[in-house]
Amino acid sequence: MSKRDLKKYLSELDKNQLEEQIIELYEKFSPVKIYYDFVFNPKEENLLKESKIKISNEYFPQRSSGKPRKPKMRRSVAQKYIKHFIVLGVDSFIIGDLMLYAIEIAQTFSAEKPVKTELFYKSMLNSYQQAVKFMISNGILDDFKTRINDINNEAIAQNWHNSLEFDAVLERLQW
């Protein structure tokens, strides 16, 4: 069904029929429920806090039953939350904060325990590039200038093999 067909169909329904369909969608489909729950009660700060906890657990997992757990270091967890925030229409400052936090927590981890896998560094560079691009497109780059520079400086300080590529991202910004 095209958007045009949907509009035509909806225009033929009366108010009660529309309400019934929306309630049915709300009850039947989790993404619809999540969307309406957010629209009517946008606790963005709570969402951000919960997301940061989940992301940090990827690098610094909480002990369960006294046994230390191994860090999973999955970038995909942060990407899932970022995408979810974008879909919900969360404020771009909060999304930008989460994007940088995901890189910063990974850098904190690698400062304590150097990572040997090439994929880790490549994915952190991708995250960095995506964050800068997102901030440019939303006009919030200047608000995060210090943190963006700090991430670059930390990549250099930790002697990441792709630190020159982090540097190149900043050079293109011509600050």
Element spanning 156, H or E: helix 145-157
Quick one: pLDDT at residue 65?
67
10-residue mean pLDDT profile of the chain (175 residues): values are 91 92 91 83 86 96 76 94 92 97 98 94 97 97 97 97 95 81
Instruction: Report whether 51 contacts 81 (CB < 8 A).
Output: yes
* pTM reported for the whole predicted model: 0.81
Is residue 85 a contact partner of residue 47, using CB atoms and an 8 Å limit? yes
Residues 100 and 141: beta-carbon distance below 8 Å: no
Query: What pLDDT is attached to residue 108?
Result: 97
Domain spans of the chain? 1-41, 43-173
- Rounded to whole angstroms, how far apart are CA atoms 64 and 128? 32
Helices and strands in the chain, H and E counts: 9, 0
Q: Render pLDDT for 9-55 as a digit per residue (tens, 0 to 9).
A: 989 999 999 999 999 999 999 888 888 887 887 788 888 999 999 99
| pLDDT reported for residue 66 | 67
The residues, ordered by sequence, that sit 6+ positions from 158 with a Cβ below 8 Å of its Cβ are: 107, 110, 111, 114
Closest CA to 150 of 101, 98, 92: 101
